[in-house]
Structure 1
């Protein structure tokens, strides 16, 4: 595959590996506020146990787009583990929130006080949005989030990028056969890795490419840990709803587990890009890199919903 190189060459001590082929959110408790400084109970997992054994307080999170689909799933799964503050245009019940537009840098700055990690989920999604909306939310808004994090001394930003950064490769066989469900025509294929040249399919994907490139700038210029996640198709129904989604679907459980892995990732993960999908039989995006660097593997499969 030829084209412009992705800005996604990782800066960790792990070399780029070869690809590996490839329960729902329940209950919701009041989320501890950052301002209150209340410590939360930890959940299971080797990383969580390690942090607990060292008596390390849970990381304090700022989540943009907390009221969205992924933000809601994050809160349900992780809201009792981490103190969470939201940065939203509207309030989220039970959560400390700063209500501001991401396009206004001065207005969002107070939200970043006393925060360890920013999870930047807020965005105008999809190519049906106007260029003006995409520019305001995904270009200017993303710059403002990164800049506010830098000014506040935030150590890590987790950026919700998108598989739309490479979706243009679906225009050609064999990937076009895969996403259209013509599996008998597929044969073999080479998975896309974090080092595959970028190929957005529209303006939305192009804004996510911008976000990844900007993340690289902040990692290199300011020493921040900037982790970009090329997230697959997450559904409110939590199952694939179209033929293409049997390739690119990501369960709510798998994306939240990935976010947790990024929150808890070692400091040596300075800049990197990871695909986030469930363990789908017809996935064409590499998941081995995430396993090698973060120890994350998906638990769900699109095929279970046939």
Structure 2
């Protein structure tokens, strides 16, 4: 592959994807709205760009084979705050990918597209959308956008419904954890699978308590290796009784399922910023 583009390269998950993606192409173009992203890896260059600008996306995607789209406002907030980067940004990436002749978009979707399902209901990749927030709604929009661009324009896309890619420090994460190594494998398989069409796959490790079913996405070749059960004894010892009437405990979306629309979901989570440093 000659050129890959990674949006959201300044983010925590992007920091773990940059180096392995350079091994899959002659040139990795990393992009974000930050002024820089630190020391670049061999074969990587950085281009500042705004997802809300179609002109920026057209410029950055020129000559690319695929785009790995991880850029977004990564929390719940007022609709107006998400409109530019998450809604319009998704359209700009797909439209620029179409106009520039890319083959595939690999998109960081989220469990929050289906976050209002009860957690004791194991859901597969074909359940209808049940977003828990405006943030989740933006993921639904991008999934439907990808479906439409595949049906109408032949642009492939793989939508990674990531559950929780962060350190395991709460009971929910015993089922929802996606390790960084499994994240990398998931993105790699989404890129190198021969044919994807429009596909959805859950971003989750091989957890004993995983509440989702990836059987219908097995053709992608994603076989997670890590298991959050190694953290269970310590996490459960530190966790008090959970309220079974609280959507934050009972729904797939966790704290995002219990907050009011427009209010931060991350504020109720202890997400540790362990971004990879270059």
- Say which of 96, 100, 106 aligns to 2:55: 106
TM-score by length of 2: 0.78
Deviation string for 1:125-164 (max 9, x for gaps)?
A: 122x232221111100110111111111111101111001
Q: Determine the structure 1 residue equivalent to 2:169.
A: 241
Structure 1: give runs of 5+ residues left out of the alignment.
Answer: 1-57, 176-188
* Structure 2 CA distance for partners of 1:81 and 1:195, relative to 1, 3 Å: closer
Report what 2:29 is aligned to: 85
Quick check: 1:62 aligned with 2:11?
no
Q: How many residues align?
A: 226
Q: Highest relative contact order (Cα 8 Å, sep 6+), 1 or 2?
A: 1
Deviation by residue 1:193-223 (Cα, 9 ceiling, x = unmatched)? 1111221111110110000000111111111
1:146 to 2:94 alignment:
yes
Residue 182 (structure 2) pairs with residue 254 (structure 1): yes
Q: 1:2-81 counterparts in 2 under 5 A?
A: 58-81=1-24
Contact 1:279 1:301 in 2 (8 A): yes
Can you give the 5+ residue segments of structure 2 that lack an aligned partner in the other structure? 233-278
1:228 aligns with 2:176: no
TM-score normalized with structure 1 length: 0.71
Residue in 2 aligned with 1:302? 228
Deviation string, structure 1 residues 267-304 (Cα, Å, up to 9, x no partner): 3x2111111101111111112233x2112111101111
8 Å CA contact retained: 1:261, 1:294? yes
Alpha-carbon offset, residue 260 of structure 1: 0.2
Q: Is 1:274–2:201 an aligned residue pair?
A: yes
Displacement after TM superposition at 1:255 (Å)? 1.0
